Amino acid sequence: MTTKAKICGLSTPETVKTAFDGGAAYLGFVFFARSPRNVEPETAQRLVEPVRGRGVATVAVTVDPDDALVDRLMATMRPDLIQVHGKETPTRVREIAQRSGVGVIKAFSVSTAADVDQALAYETVAEQFLFDARPVEGQGGTSSLPGGTGARFDWSLLEGRRFSRPHFLAGGLDPWNVGAAVAASGAPLVDVSSGVERGPGLKDPALITAFLDAVKRA
Ligand SMILES: O=C(O)c1ccccc1NCC(=O)[C@H](O)[C@H](O)COP(=O)(O)O
């Protein structure tokens, strides 16, 4: 089985091109003011234009998005998928999917098996799941973000788990550990942000290429 990768938190034309050329299946753009990766919807629109319709899925990454943000994203960037990385209920995920007309990736913060079980309540409303490390509260820096922190969880919590939706493993992945992470978790999809950066929000083209090459070998 081929593992597919999402490069998250892109913000420049150069790194979008590197991720696309390297075979990323998903390109993620973050809309969250406190993130060092935050971009405006109009910026994301310009960034995705060169790759639109070329076989890569564009993802708008949000946290408890209100209707105004959903509408603005659909009027500008027109993502293929909306990722929700907050405390969205199944009802809210359904509303976002219906309002936007695109599929939703529901993200879950994981530190225990019970956290993974949360996904079962979303099987009829989300198109895909993303399991990320639970952020450590109150330490400032990127650790105060809901995602993109570089924190890991126990990959074996996903081992042998079957879902009716494709799922991502995320959290602390990088070019050197992604092979082991895929082997331990069995995840069909992987996601990375800070593991391909040279500083907060600064994606490194060489690390993006190295990550995608490692995924191909996984
Ligand atoms: O990346 C962010 O800054 C971010 C901010 C707010 C919500 C979600 C965010 N990222 C979501 C992602 O999908 C990240 O790729 C995922 O959390 C993994 O990040 P990392 O551990 O840095 O690889």
Q: What is the pLDDT of residues 19-34, one digit of tens each?
A: 999 999 999 999 999 9
* pLDDT at 139 > cutoff 60: no
Q: State mean pLDDT over 95-116.
A: 98
User: Mutual orientation of helices 13-21 and 205-217 as an angle, nearest 10°?
Assistant: 20
pLDDT given for residue 32 in this prediction: 98
Residue 115 designated active-site = no
Q: Given this model, what pLDDT does residue 144 score?
A: 78
Helix residue ranges per DSSP H, 26-171:
41-48, 67-75, 90-100, 113-117
* Residue 173, ligand 1, Cβ within 6 A: yes
| Mean pLDDT over each residue of the chain, to the nearest integer | 96
Using the predicted structure, report yes or no on whether residue 140 has a pLDDT greater than 70: no
Q: Name, in order, each residue with C-beta under 8 angstroms of 60's C-beta and a sequence gap of 6 or more.
A: 29, 31, 41, 44, 73, 77, 79, 81, 82, 83
Closest C-alpha among 151, 213, 169, 191 to residue 18: 213
Long-range Cβ contacts of 44-50 (<8 Å, 24+ apart): 44/73, 44/76, 44/77, 44/79, 45/76, 45/77, 45/78, 47/10, 47/11, 47/12, 47/13, 47/16, 48/16, 48/77, 48/78, 48/79, 50/13, 50/16, 50/17, 50/20
Q: What is the pLDDT of residues 77-86, one digit of tens each?
A: 999 999 999 9
Residue nearest to atom 1 of ligand 1 (CA): 148
The residue whose CA has the least distance to atom 13 of ligand 1 is: 8
For 189, the 3-state DSSP assignment is strand
The mean pLDDT of 183-191, rounded to a whole number, is 97
Q: Is 203 in the pocket of ligand 1 (CB under 6 A)?
A: no
Interstrand relation of 197-199 and 202-203 (parallel, antiparallel or unpaired) = antiparallel
Q: Measured from the CA of 168, which atom of ligand 1 is nearest?
A: 13
Distance, CA 4 to ligand 1 centroid (Å)?
A: 17
**Is any ligand 1 atom within 6 A of the Cβ of residue 5?**
no
Question: In 3D, which of 130, 119, 10, 37 has the Cα closest to residue 82?
Answer: 130
Give the whole-angstrom CA distance, residue 89 versus residue 79: 21
Nearest-CA residue for ligand 1 atom 6 is 147
State the Cα–Cα distance between residues 143 and 48, nearest whole angstrom. 28
Q: Is the CB of 132 under 6 A from ligand 1?
A: yes
CATH 3.40.50.410 given to domain 4-217: no
Q: Determine the average pLDDT of the residues in 136-140.
A: 61
Query: Is 117 labeled as catalytic in the residue annotation?
Result: no
Closest to 105 in 3D by CA, of 4, 202, 20, 209 = 4
User: Is residue 105 a contact partner of residue 127, using CB atoms and an 8 Å limit?
Assistant: yes
Q: What pLDDT, on the 0 to 100 scale, is given for residue 135?
A: 85
Each residue's pLDDT tens digit, 38-83: 999 999 999 999 999 999 999 999 999 999 999 999 999 999 999 9
Distance CA 137, CA 216 (A): 34
Is 3 near ligand 1, meaning CB less than 6 Å away? no
**Residue of 8, 39, 204 with the most ligand 1 atoms within 8 Å of its CB, for mutation:** 8
141 pLDDT more than 70? no
Percent of the chain with pLDDT over 90: 95
